[in-house]
Structure formats: C-alpha cells, structure tokens
Amino acid sequence: MHLNAHFIILFPTGKVAVMFTIDEYVLNSQTGQLGKVIGYGHQIINNVYTVTLQVLITETANSQKRLFVLEDIISAWRPMSVA
C-alpha cells in the first residue's frame, strides 16, 4: 500500500495550501483533468507570489495519446486516489 503524505501550509492571511508529492495523482477541481504531479512552480498573480503545481496530463483521443504539462495554482488541485 502506498500512502502519500500531504504537507499543509498556513499563510499569515489565513489561507491554507496542501502540498502534494511528486508522482502523486491529482484532479483539477475546475477543469476535471487528472494527472501526475511532476513539479512545483510559482507565478505572480495580482502582485501576490502564488505557488503552482505542474502536472503531466495524458489525454487519449482516436487511439492517439497526447501528453502535456498543465500548471495551475495549487488550490485548484485535490488528491486523487488511483486503485
């Protein structure tokens, strides 16, 4: 059995962020896309330093596989268990 430990970050503003582990599967709650965590990044959004998650997305259409990296704010992702 593989267990992923999540780190919780509490910011001075009261916001909370969950940190994911590399190779963990996550689901983007806004787009519904499922992928595997490959890294972290950051962006400045509205003059605020924002942690992002870099996720490898695999899409299959018409027997063809397409891989791409999606980077989004960390709060857009949630853990996804894969059986």
pLDDT in tens, 1-49: 344 455 555 555 666 566 788 999 999 988 888 999 999 998 898 998 8
Q: Rounded to two decimals, what is the model's pTM?
A: 0.71
What are the φ/ψ torsions at residue 80 (nearest 5 degrees)?
-130, 125
Residue 2 has what pLDDT?
42
Closest C-alpha among 31, 51, 24, 27 to residue 40: 51
Residue 58 has what pLDDT?
83
